[in-house]
Amino acid sequence: MNGKDYYQILGVDKDAPAKQIKEAYRKLALQYHPDRNRENPQAIEKMQAINEAYAVLSNSQKRREYDAMRRRFGSSATNRFRQTYTQDDIFKESDISQIFEEMARSFGLRGFDDIFRDLADGSAYRSFEYRRPGIHARGFFFQARMGPKGVRVKLPGKTGPLGKLGRKVFEKLGGVEFAEDGEDLHDTIRIDPETAAGGGPYAYYLREKDKKLVVRIPPGIRPGQKIRLAGQGKDGRGGGRPGDLYLQVKIKRPLLADIRKKARRWLSKNR
């Protein structure tokens, strides 16, 4: 399923309205639900693909950006889209969990949380519940491995109010080292029009890590597009993954155009 067109995955036309996209996803999600495909290991991969396709096409902004990439890059649009968005960004604000809960109630199947727990290492899965006056939080974490500092724990998702709350809960347990993914870095690069049109290498100095990188500029890149360098963001802690580096592209003005512009200004002043 790697790189396959999102519209093809859901079986809808590129002009399909949002309602049709949701209906197509519900049909496929029901068809490939793990509870209905216990003897079909390929169903998991299919389920992951339709989840990703729906998460993108059900979001109007992401869909517009994906459509623009399809018009420009054709069959490689999906892979280029993944270079722009992380998995967390792709599934952010998606209603996939809600749809799974609706199917669970209607067809007696497991909901999203139960499926997620089943796909994880059952021996490492732990849940928690935190109650205080005015605060009620529920969640889960994964015990990644034992280390020299004790148990290392991975909390899913990016850091937020609930993530911080969960850490405070587990700090009280003692002997816990939290695995935390590194933050993404963002910067801007300026390239000449020739490099933008034909692509090629670009020397970039990453100040945060004091290292030199050679960035591959894809042919036909446009101003404002971003290039993702996986693993080049801030380092993770406690065994967490490093973040990514996103470089937004700006294109320099052609030198000849600047000369002509200055010449026209000089002529208009000296007539």
The structure's pTM equals 0.48
Count CA within 13 A, CB hemisphere, residue 131: 1
| Rounded Cα gap, residues 269 and 88, in angstroms | 55
Second CATH level (architecture) for the domain 6-113: Orthogonal Bundle (1.10)
Say which residue, 169 or 225, is predicted with more confidence: 225
Q: Where are the domains of the chain?
A: 6-113, 120-179, 185-256
Residue 268 predicted with pLDDT over 50: yes
CATH class, domain 185-256, is mainly beta
Please state the rounded mean pLDDT for residues 180-186: 87
pLDDT band at residue 159 using 50, 70 and 90 as cut-offs: very low
Residue 152 predicted with pLDDT over 80: no
Question: What pLDDT, in 10s, does the model give residues 187-196?
Answer: 999 999 989 9
List the structure tokens of 54.
Answer: 């729906």
Question: What pLDDT, in 10s, does the model give residues 50-78?
Answer: 999 999 999 999 999 999 999 999 889 99
Do 227 and 249 contact (CB within 8 A), yes or no?
yes
In the prediction, which pLDDT does 162 show?
47
